[in-house]
Amino acid sequence: MLSLASAAWAQAPANGSKAELPAVQRAVHVCASCHGDFGRSTHKAYPALAGQTRDYMIRQMKDFRDQARAETDIQAYMWGISALLTDEQIEGLADYYAAQTPLPGKSRNAKLEAEGKLIFEQGIGDHTVRACTSCHGGNAQGEGAAPRLAGLHADYVFRQLQAFKTPLRRHGNVMKSEALALSDAQMKALAAYVMSK
């Protein structure tokens, strides 16, 4: 699957990005069939990758390859393809997607989004749930290991918050106390809010 027609670029550019390595560009064509051109998916099953943080992307791709992130859909869709990727390709894919401009968020339910915004910015109670902004940034834009959430489909975000309550996302440790303390209704509000950003 990854040996599709070669792209034109032969070498990584001077800024150190590996995004244009031919093996990375070939892989990007395959990723695009589900995650959309430039990673700008709006489909609830396929998370957008455009603008995702580099460190987070690398962690996830390695977790797929090591079978350490193990939700059913990840097993079905991402284990096979990631098994074929080298560290260099993974870094190149992360460079590529981090450099893509994401689509603007989609607002669907202003009331629900306002509820989500409150939790996102202030957390709940006496640090039972920490403010999401403290790691994911004031606009849910992500930073380093904490992913960009802005514009991700609400159904996908809700599924991940549920997954953190299980052992299936092992590197989601930092999210586990949050996920356990949130009700489904609060998760839906948070998911609606980040999708609108």
Nearer CB in complex with ligand HEC: 12/171? 171
Is position 174 an interface residue for ligand HEC (rule: CB under 6 A)? yes
Annotate 18-73 with DSSP letters as a single string.
-TTSHHHHHHHHHHHHHH-GGG----TTS---TT--HHHHHHHHHHHHTT-B--HH
124 DSSP β-pair partners? 129
Query: How is residue 157 annotated by DSSP?
Result: H
Could you give the maximum distance between any two Cα atoms of the chain, in Å? 55
Q: With CB under 6 A as the contact rule, which of the stretches 9-17, 73-81, 106-114 interacts with ligand HEC?
A: 73-81
Which residues have CB under 8 Å from 71's CB, separation 6+? Answer: 159, 163, 168, 169
Shortest gap between Cβ of 40 and ligand HEC (angstroms)?
Answer: 13
- Contact between 40 and 100 under an 8 Å Cβ cutoff? The reply is yes
- Contact pattern for ligand HEC over residues 9 through 48, marking x by CB under 6 A: ------------------x--xx-xxx---------xxx-
Is position 101 an interface residue for ligand HEC (rule: CB under 6 A)? no
Q: Which of 109, 135, 165, 168 binds ligand HEC (CB under 6 A)?
A: 135
Nearer CB in complex with ligand HEC: 107/128? 128
Taking CA atoms, 189 is separated from 108, 109, 126, in Å, by 11, 9, 20
Taking CA atoms, 171 is separated from 56, 59, 67, 117, in Å, by 10, 8, 12, 25
Site for ligand HEC in 140-169 (CB under 6 A): 145-147, 149, 152, 156-157, 159-161, 169
Nearer CB in complex with ligand HEC: 14/173? 173
Shortest gap between Cβ of 47 and ligand HEC (angstroms)?
Answer: 4
Nearer CB in complex with ligand HEC: 33/107? 33
Q: Which amino acid is at 129?
A: V
Residues that bind ligand HEC (CB under 6 A): 27, 30-31, 33-35, 45-47, 49, 57, 59-61, 71, 73-74, 77-78, 81, 93, 119, 129-130, 132, 134-136, 145-147, 149, 152, 156-157, 159-161, 169, 171-172, 174-175, 178, 190
